[in-house]
Amino acid sequence: MVAVGTQWFAAGFKPNGYDLAAHQLMRQGYDVFCPKLARHVKHARKTVRKLAPLFPGYMFVAVDTQAQRWRPIESTPGVTKLVKFGNEPACLPRGVVESLKAMSSDTGEMALLAPDISIGDAVRVEGGAFDQWVGEVVKLAPPDRITLLIDLATRRVPITISAANAAVVTPAAECASPQTYRKRSAPCPR
C-alpha cells in the first residue's frame, strides 16, 4: 500500500541481483516494483519463456518522504545506486509507476496490448521454429493465437502461433491480390 506522501525513485541493481535487492528493500519497509516482459530464450535446443525487466538493471522504489529516508536504499545489498540529479535522487512524475502497475500482473509481467493483426495480413514470425518466416493470417483464435499459411516445400501449411510472436509486415489492405508467401521472403511478393 502506497502512502499519500510517497514518491517513486529509480534504483539500479546488480546483474541478476533483482531478487536480493527487492527482498532487502521490502524487509526495510520500502515498496518495490519492477515491470517485466516475457521473453523467449533459446538454450540447449529448447525455447524457454522467461520474465526480464522492462528497464534492464533498474527497479522502482517507493519512499514515504514523511516517514522514511532515501539514503539507506543506496547501501542495501543488491542495489548499485539511485538515479540522481546532482546529490538529490530524481523522483519520478506522479502516475508513471502507477500506470505501469495497472498494466501488470502480480508478478510484474506487463499485459501489453495485443498487436493489431487481422485476417489477410502478412506477418513475420518472431522466435520459435519458424523464426523470420512470413505468412498470411487466415484465422484469429482466442485468447491470443493466430493461424498462418506459410509455404513449406511445395504446399501451403497452416501453423498456429501466439499473436505476441508475430509482427505485421504488410496489412491486408495492401495485399489485396492473392499472394504466395515463402520463407524469409519479402512481404506481398508479386
Say if residue 40 is in the same domain as residue 80. Answer: yes
* Measured CA angle at 23 (ends 32, 60), to 5 deg: 20
pLDDT at 106: 85
Contact yes or no for 29/45 (Cβ under 8 A): no
Instruction: Specify the CATH number for the domain of residue 25.
Output: 3.30.70.940
* Residues in contact with 161: Cβ distance below 8 Å, sequence separation at least 6, in sequence order: 125, 128, 130, 145, 146, 148
Q: Residue written as cell 512524475?
A: 93
The low-confidence residues of the chain, meaning pLDDT below 70, are: 1-3, 40, 112-115, 142-143, 175-190
> What amino acid occupies position 103?
M
Query: CATH no. for residue 129?
Result: 2.30.30.30
13 with 95, same domain: the answer is yes
Residue 1 within any structural domain of the chain: no
Measured CA to CA, the distance from residue 57 to residue 41 in angstroms comes to 18
Q: Is residue 98 part of a domain?
A: yes
Closest CA relative to residue 67, chosen from 100, 98, 31? 31
* Domains in the chain, number: 2
84-94 pLDDT tens trace: 999 999 999 99
Residue range(s) defining the domain that contains residue 73: 6-102
13 burial level (CB within 10 Å; 0-12, 13-18, 19+):
buried
114-149 residues labelled b (16+ CB within 10 A) or e (exposed): eeebeebbbbbbbbeebeebbbbbeeeeeeeebbbb
* SS3 at position 94: coil
Same domain, 48 and 122: no
Q: Is 170 helix (H, G, I), strand (E, B) or coil?
A: strand
Task: Give the pTM.
Answer: 0.61
Q: What is the pLDDT of residue 25?
A: 96
- CA 93-99-103 angle, 5° bins: 155
